């Protein structure tokens, strides 16, 4: 309940801020990212009752996109969404999260380079496939050595970045963020940083 009240207050202040500012166009684009995530230790028990301890401490990669609306000379609001995947363990277990949310950011624009900081508040769906034993050749047999876990989670992601002007409508973008979980977080949730590279297409409101 407390998280819901905080989210409603955040959305309310954002709406009031937008209402007082002049709309100046939108930007949208796609990104690839690479980073590193780390989870707490977690135990997995297979159908034979064998318990094994795991910890995710691995590289993560993925794709995503972002859309923002500019209001005034220094503020942008919008949304973004990504899918990130990490492989870990001796038998190539897989952790992935598809997530998205609403964002707010402040920026300073120079002639060629713009710098910005912001944060995204949203949620995602975690999928964790734990492989406790080498599966040999790929096949479609049912195995007691593969376990699957899926759950929803709230995420908060502060970020900072820079945009380099290529022409009036195109920007090359670099961004670094840090994902944190704040609701229904499990021990296998991987938090950490990601470095994004991409392009943004921009329209300017006259």
**Digit-coded pLDDT (tens) for 106-139:** 999 888 999 999 999 999 999 999 887 765 555 5
CB-CB neighbours of 76 under 10 Å: 22
Expressed in percent and rounded to 5, the helix, strand and coil fractions of the chain are: 10, 65, 25
Cα(151)–Cα(60) distance, integer angstroms? 19
| pTM of this structure | 0.83
Give the per-residue pLDDT at 131. Answer: 83
Q: What are the φ/ψ torsions at residue 50 (nearest 5 degrees)?
A: -85, 125
| 68 contacts 103 by C-beta, under 8 angstroms | yes
Cα(157)–Cα(159) distance, integer angstroms? 6
Give the per-residue pLDDT at 141. Answer: 54
Our measurement of the distance from residue 95's CA atom to the centroid of its chain's CA atoms, rounded to an integer in Å, reads 14
CB-CB neighbours of 110 under 10 Å: 10
DSSP secondary structure code for residue 203 in this structure: -
- Mean pLDDT over residues 50-70, rounded? 93
Give the per-residue pLDDT at 18. Answer: 58
| 186 contacts 151 by C-beta, under 8 angstroms | yes
Residue 83: pLDDT band with limits 50, 70, 90: very high
pLDDT tens by residue, 6-16: 555 566 556 65
Give the per-residue pLDDT at 39. Answer: 95
Q: Which residues pair with 43 in a beta bridge?
A: 53
Residue 144: pLDDT over 70: no
Q: What ranges do the domains of the chain cover? A: 23-202
CATH for 23-202 (1.10.3720.10, 1.10.443.10, 3.40.50.150, 2.40.160.20): 2.40.160.20
User: 7 by DSSP, 3-state: which?
Assistant: helix
């Amino acid at each position: 309940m407390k998280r819901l009240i905080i989210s409603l207050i955040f959305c309310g202040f954002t709406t009031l801020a937008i209402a007082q500012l002049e709309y100046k166009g939108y930007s949208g684009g796609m990104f690839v990212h690479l980073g590193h995530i780390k989870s707490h230790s977690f135990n997995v028990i297979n159908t034979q009752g064998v318990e094994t301890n795991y910890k995710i401490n691995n590289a993560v990669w993925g794709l995503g996109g972002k859309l923002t609306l500019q209001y005034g000379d220094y503020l942008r609001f919008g949304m973004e969404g990504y899918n990130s995947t990490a492989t870990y363990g001796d038998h190539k277990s897989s952790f992935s999260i598809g997530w998205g949310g609403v964002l707010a950011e402040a920026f300073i624009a120079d002639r060629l380079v713009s710098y910005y900081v912001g944060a995204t508040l949203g949620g995602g769906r975690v999928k964790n496939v734990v492989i406790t034993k080498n599966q040999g050749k790929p096949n479609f047999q049912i195995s007691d050595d593969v376990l699957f876990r899926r759950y929803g989670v709230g995420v908060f992601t502060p970020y900072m970045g820079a945009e380099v002007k290529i022409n009036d409508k195109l920007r090359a973008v670099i961004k670094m963020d840090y994902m944190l979980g704040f609701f229904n977080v499990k021990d296998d949730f991987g938090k950490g940083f990601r470095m994004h590279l991409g392009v943004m297409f921009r329209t300017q409101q006259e």
